[in-house]
Structure 1
């Protein structure tokens, strides 16, 4: 599939002179540190907002009312819109330019954060959280495209992706900590704290060159089917976790969502300009990266969910104290992201992915094999080992995505990668939550999660090794 790249101010294509090409290259080089910093801060914001609200929910509920189901939608409204809109926003990043979409996402994130901080009811807060999910969907694929555009050198791109990954990884600890520190002052601050970060991102973007815009048809049928299918499917999975596996409504939602997604895939094989080109699934690197992204976040979100339940309900720890257990893993993960850049540069993405998956498997098996009762230090140690492996694997997998596709498809390929990750996270929380309801104790549930995660990653590691050895 061939696409035409152009800018708004240059409707006529021409071969640039060597001097003009040099000026553009220097402009890209000057933009690179500002684009990398903006993308990394935005990655931090997107990840932090998944977790920061959890600690504040009891206080919010006391002030605004709402039962457990409404509280769940305060959390899930964000992840639902986030996952469902990533494909659409990846297409927009390619069509309108990554920088423009990224700036729009950062501005909407600031506005939605302010709206949420002044929410007068739980319904208004759920709306604010949904708007934050939309903003995150605009930000994430565009941030990867910005890194790709401004870091054409593979070594520089590897470092930029490592910093981008470190931003998201640090959010896993900063989110609960900030939530615990700000909630006693007032719960609204867990949303208002986003605004200064958004202003910093917008300021950095003024030093980033405009992105190319690519003229292409817009697949409205595909967009509608994908959006509605993902929303209904993920809502069904969430409701299975909330209502139980015997809920007819939850399974009806799952069924309708799957039918719509099948219709979406069939439509992509027929339209002239598909929003998600099916040929990308035939690319070996994309196959490996998509599976890795799905399973890693499936395991991580599910494990964090069950660990939090175990620490608070099983061991009687407070929410803030439970959040402290995740702090060592965050620092180790940041170090792993930075080390991952060196490993990718020295040994390549394939080696980094293999090493990272092996470390994650070792971390899960350590936690599974530790005798009962599982002490807090053992959980923190296992989380740190798993986080270190994930930190090595994630930027390498993101790099494989960007290297496997044409630059004109970087936005949609990034969106596909992050869609698989976010859908994996939503499914992981629901599936492991259902497992916890059927087992007699949270200790057994925790062990089941550790073992299942290790086995899933072992299967992905075997698939990765076999797939890349094929000729």
Structure 2
């Protein structure tokens, strides 16, 4: 009896232990899912912020200039102060993410983004606003690579990772619709709100920091020489282009800035052959798929950012539309872009990347030509329709080009190749605003400037299309 009794007690205790272990495992699993979901949420919010801050300020620029002053060159810097620093620091930020851990860089970037947004909202001059926008660019560069790394760490399961990346991408895509709309809604109250609106989003990110798991860090080498030269080169080049519009091409300051920019960028390319761990491996430029993808990324965003900048000025200064009405003009293109993203994946799977890129570029060219060929004055509905057509083509082209980047290089170079693609896109945006802003200063009115943007964009895309068809034969 004692033996049976002891065995019964043992079995009962064993059941209790196993039950307790199951409960603990369940709690751990639920905690893991909660952590992964909140991490994905925070990363999607960060993607939304980085995308929205490019577009929300365009609608507010005419009102800001009325209150704080500033010519076309200063307005260009309000946009380019953000995009230039964002672009120039993306590669370094990716390395810092690996070195110090994604969570640490992500939270530091979110904190800086919130602080810089407050600084911008209290800006007392255009110079102060440009400085704040530069800080926002630094913050975005810290946030974006870290947010992708956090999604990868929090979602080891491929299916969950795909779902999480889709949400992350949706955050950036939705910013195209929400940015101009929020700018139009908030600017009539006060322009400072287009920056202050960022603060609640940053607080949401910091509020879930406790549930984001710590990230591993790795000892890696930094290419400080390359980073310094690229930052100096890009800043001086963009400043020189903007100075062409304000002081003229032959002004000593303009020539000096352009010379410094070109020399620094040449030195950067030379340094990438010499340093042991280059931030931009030059051998990737010899891969034809990379050549196609980098040109597409650069020219598409060059056209889009420059067009949005001039189009916003045209709608408010030439057509005398209010900020909210001007913001509404961009909303249809944003929703069409989301539809294009969904259709783009199916087209790639069915017909391949080259077909998708060819189709997308052709659609974008048609959109720009429709707007260029419409007799003056260009109706608002034509602008909205043209923007939607261009956005649809871009939505088909971009994921195909990103896929080409990943297919064209060895797996161990996929990270740096993707970073190069995103860097070229952001650099294209900064230079696009600078170039089209200069064109607008030399033309008699914004209607002619907008037409010039449309035809120049169509020509540049036609060049990329011909290059892709003749030089790249991959599917």
In 1, Cα distance between equivalents of 2:468 and 2:209: 37
Q: Is the 8 A contact 1:268 1:276 kept in 2?
A: yes
Aligned equivalent of 1:425, options 425, 429, 445: 429
1:257 equivalent among 243, 255, 261: 261
Give the superposition deviation at 1:185. Answer: 2.9
- Cross-structure match for 1:22: none
Q: Could you tell me whether the CA contact under 8 Å between 1:90 and 1:414 is conserved in 2?
A: no
Deviation at 1:61, TM superposition (A): 5.2
* 1:286 partnered with 2:290: yes
Does residue 343 of structure 1 match 2:357?
no
Match of 1:185 in 2: 189
1:300 is displaced (CA, Å) by: 0.8
Q: Scaled by the length of structure 1, what TM-score is found?
A: 0.83
Q: What's the CA shift string for 1:246-283, capped at 9, x where partnerless?
A: 43322321221111111111111011111222222233
C-alpha separation between the residues in 2 aligned to 1:300 and 1:71?
17
Query: Are 2:264 and 1:272 aligned?
Result: no
Aligned 1:385-424 pairs, distance under 5 A: 385-405=389-409, 409-424=413-428
Of Structure 1 and Structure 2, which has the larger fraction of its residues in helix?
2
Counterparts in 2 of 1:339 and 1:41: CA distance versus 1, 3 Å = farther
Partner of 1:200: 204
Contact 1:106 1:139 in 2 (8 A): yes
Q: CA deviation at 1:295?
A: 0.4
1:134 paired with 2:135, answer: no
Deviation at 1:288, TM superposition (A): 2.0
Mapping for residues 237-386 of structure 1, pairs under 5 Å: 237-386=241-390
Q: Distance in 1 between matches of 2:349 and 2:52?
A: 28
Structure 1 pair 448–153 and aligned structure 2 pair: CA distance change class (3 A): farther
Superposition pairs of residues 95-244 of structure 1, within 5 angstroms: 95-146=99-150, 163-203=167-207, 207=211, 209-244=213-248
> 1:165/1:246 Cα in 2 relative to 1: closer, same or farther (>3 Å)?
farther
The verdict on how the C-alpha distance between 1:90 and 1:401 changes in structure 2, with shifts beyond 3 A counting, is farther
Indicate if the aligned counterparts of 2:187 and 2:323 stay in contact, CA closer than 8 A. Answer: no
Shift of residue 385 of structure 1?
A: 0.7
Task: Give the whole-Å Cα distance in 2 for the aligned partners of 1:61 and 1:445.
Answer: 19
Secondary structure, aligned partner of 1:466:
helix
Question: Could you say if the C-alpha distance between residues 352 and 145 of structure 1 is closer, same or farther in structure 2, counting changes exceeding 3 Å?
Answer: farther
Select between 320-329 and 411-420 the one with higher mean Cα deviation.
Answer: 411-420
- Per the TM alignment, residue 87 of structure 1 is displaced from its structure 2 partner at its CA by 2.5
Measured in 2, the distance between the counterparts of 1:357 and 1:31 equals 40
Partner of 1:13: none
What is the root-mean-square deviation in Å for CA atoms of aligned residues?
Answer: 3.3
SS of the equivalent of 2:472 reads helix
Q: Is 1:449–2:448 an aligned residue pair? A: no
* Cα distance in 2, alignment partners of residues 224 and 45 from structure 1: 26
Contact 1:112 1:128 in 2 (8 A): yes
Check the 8 A contact 2:80/2:434 in 1, yes or no. Answer: no
SS of 2:275's partner is: coil
Count of residue pairs brought into register by the alignment:
447
What secondary structure sits across from 1:326 in the alignment?
helix
Q: Structure 1 residue 339: deviation in Å?
A: 2.9
Using a 3 Å threshold, how does the CA distance of structure 1 residues 407 and 33 change in structure 2: closer, same or farther?
Answer: farther
Larger Rg over CA atoms: 2
Partner of 2:79: 75
- Distance in 2 (CA, whole Å) between partners of 1:159 and 1:462 is 35
Secondary structure of 1:186's counterpart equals coil
Per-residue deviation at 1:121?
A: 4.5
Partner of residue 46 from structure 1, selected from 50, 56, 66? 50
Question: Structure 2 vs 1, CA of residues 311 and 66 (structure 1 numbering), >3 Å: closer, same or farther?
Answer: closer
Deviation for aligned residue 1:291 = 0.9
| Native 8 Å contact 2:289 2:404 kept in 1 | yes
Q: Residues 145 and 410 of structure 1 are in contact (CA less than 8 Å); yes or no, is this contact kept in structure 2?
A: no
Contact 1:165-1:394 at 8 Å conserved across structures: no
Q: Which moved more, 1:162-171 or 1:424-433?
A: 162-171
Q: CA deviation at 1:138?
A: 1.4
The offset of 1:328, in angstroms, is 1.0
| Shift in alpha-carbon separation, 1:54–1:309, aligned structure 2, 3 A | closer
Alpha-carbon shift at residue 122 of structure 1 (Å): 4.1
Query: What is the deviation of 1:298?
Result: 0.9
Q: 1:198 to 1:95 in 2, by over 3 A?
A: same
Separation in structure 2 between the aligned mates of residue 359 and residue 158 of structure 1, nearest angstrom: 28
Which one is further off, 265-274 or 159-168?
Answer: 159-168
Structure 1 residues 161 and 67, CA, compared in 2 at 3 Å: closer, same or farther? same
Give the C-alpha shift of residue 160 in structure 1: 5.5
| Aligned-residue offset at 1:153 | 8.2
CA contact (8 A) 2:353 2:400 kept: yes
